Amino acid sequence: MSQPESATADAQAGGPSDGTPTTGQEPLAKLAERYGLRRAIARPSLPVYLRQLWERRHFVMTYATSRNVSKYSNSALGQLWQVLTPLLNAAIYWLMFGLILGASKDIENYPAFLITGMFVFTYTQRAVSGGAKSISGNLSMIRALHFPRAALPLAYTIQEFQQLLISMGVLFALVLVTGEPLTWFWLLVPVALVLQTMFNVGASLVLARVGATARDLNQLLPFIMRTWLYASGVFFAIGDKVVNSAGLPQWVADVMYFNPAAAYIELMRNLLIESHSTRPYIWSVCVFWAVFALIGGFWYFWRAEEKYGRG
C-alpha cells in the first residue's frame, strides 16, 4: 500500500539538495502571491509600527512594573532599596569628592550640586545600559512571542523612569535639607524630566540595536559609562574646571556642555539650586537632544526590526 508513496517521499528527500534553487523557487512565490499570502517576517512601515507599539502599551507598562517588583523581591528590605540605592550612592560620592578630595571649595552648596548631578546621570546611565541588554537579554521572549521589538527597550526605560520618580522624591528632600529654597523654577522639573526621558528612550533604542549584534557591548559598557560620568561634570563644574583651572578657551567648555548628560545635569541644577548659574543655551541643547535622539532612535531601531532574534 505504501509502496508508491515511500518511493516519492524518498525522491523528495534527495530532491532539495540537488534541485536548482532558482527554478524551484518560482512556483511557490507565485502561489503565495496568488493567494495573497505575505512574508511572515516583513517590517511594517514606521507609522504602522508606532501604532502597533501603541497597541502594546499595556504590555510595556506591565512589563516595566513587573521587572521593578521582581527586582527587589528577594531582598529583605524589598522595595525600600529603590530609595536606599540612590541615597547610598550619593553618600559615597559626597564622602569621596566632597570631603576627601576636596573638590567642593569653589562650588556653593556642593552636596546639592553633587547629588543632583548623580541622580540625573544615574537615570540616563541605567536607562541606556538597560536598553543595551533589552534585546540580547530577552532572546527567548523574542523567539516566542510577537510584539514590536521596540517595546522592550521602551519598557526598560519606563522601568528606570518609575525608579526615578522615587529617586526624585529623595533628591527634593535632600536638596531642601541642604538649605535650598523652594522656588517657582521647581515647577519646570517635570519638563526637564520629560526632555531627559525622551533622550533616554532614543538612546536606549539605539543601544538596543547595537547590543543585539555586538555582544561585547555589555562588557565594554561599564568603561564607556564611567568615561561618560567623568566627562559630564557630575563632580565638578565644567565651566569652572575647564576655563578657570585648566586655562582652556571658553569654546572647549561649550563643546563639553553639548554632551547630553552634562546638559540635563546642568538644567536640573539650574532649576533646583538657586546659586547655580549655567550657560544660557542649555535649554536648547536639552530640547535638541530630546527630539533628535527620540526620532533618530526610533528610526534606527525600526530599520532592523525583522532581524532581532537571529542570535
Partner 1 sequence: MAELTEELSRVKAEEPAVPSADVRVYPNPEPPHDPREGTPTVIVDDLHIIYRVYGAATDAEKGNAANALMRLLKRQGRPQMKEIHAVRGVSFVARHGDAIGIVGRNGSGKSTLLRAIAGLLPPHSGAVYTDGQPSLLGVNAALMRELTGERNIVLGCYAMGMNPTQVQEKFDDIVDFSGIGEFVQFPMSTYSSGMGARLRFAIASAKKHDVLIIDEALATGDREFKRKSQERIKQMREEAGTVFLVAHNLDVIEETCNRVIWLHKGKIKMDGDPKTVIAAYNKA
Q: What angle do CA 171, 255, 95 make, to 5 degrees?
A: 35
* Identity of the residue, 35 or 184, whose beta carbon is nearer to partner 1 in the bound complex: 35
Contact 194, 291 (CB under 8 A): no
* Identity of the residue, 8 or 183, whose beta carbon is nearer to partner 1 in the bound complex: 8
76 interacts with partner 1 by CB under 8 A: no
* Identity of the residue, 135 or 263, whose beta carbon is nearer to partner 1 in the bound complex: 135
Closest CB 114 distance from partner 1, rounded Å? 23
Residue with cell string 530609595: 83
Segment near partner 1 (CB under 8 A); pick from 5-13, 78-86, 178-186, 260-268: 5-13
Counting Cα atoms < 13 Å in the Cβ hemisphere of 90 gives 24
Report the C-alpha gap between 94 and 77 in whole angstroms: 24
Q: Is 3 exposed, middle or buried (0-12, 13-18, 19+ CB in 10 A)?
A: exposed
* Identity of the residue, 43 or 279, whose beta carbon is nearer to partner 1 in the bound complex: 43
* Identity of the residue, 105 or 146, whose beta carbon is nearer to partner 1 in the bound complex: 146
* Identity of the residue, 13 or 100, whose beta carbon is nearer to partner 1 in the bound complex: 13
Residues 6+ apart with CB under 8 A from 57: none
Among 45, 70, 187, 280, interactor with partner 1 by CB under 8 A: 70
Phi-psi region of 38 (alpha: psi -120 to 50; beta: other; left: phi over 0): beta
User: Which cell goes with 14?
Assistant: 534527495
Report the C-alpha gap between 229 and 233 in whole angstroms: 7
Contact 94, 111 (CB under 8 A): yes
Rg (CA), the chain: 26
Segment near partner 1 (CB under 8 A); pick from 99-107, 200-208, 231-239, 303-311: 303-311
* Identity of the residue, 9 or 101, whose beta carbon is nearer to partner 1 in the bound complex: 9
45 interacts with partner 1 by CB under 8 A: no
* Identity of the residue, 110 or 308, whose beta carbon is nearer to partner 1 in the bound complex: 308
62 interacts with partner 1 by CB under 8 A: yes
44 interacts with partner 1 by CB under 8 A: no
Closest CB 112 distance from partner 1, rounded Å? 30
Closest CB 309 distance from partner 1, rounded Å? 6
Applying the rule CB under 8 A, the residues between 95 and 154 that interact with partner 1 are 133, 136-138, 140-147
184 interacts with partner 1 by CB under 8 A: no
Among 194, 185, 192, 164, residue whose Cα is nearest residue 271: 185
User: Which cell goes with 129?
Assistant: 545600559
Among 44, 59, 240, 274, interactor with partner 1 by CB under 8 A: 59
Closest CB 100 distance from partner 1, rounded Å? 22
1 interacts with partner 1 by CB under 8 A: yes
Residue with cell string 516519492: 8
Applying the rule CB under 8 A, the residues between 217 and 236 that interact with partner 1 are 218-223, 226
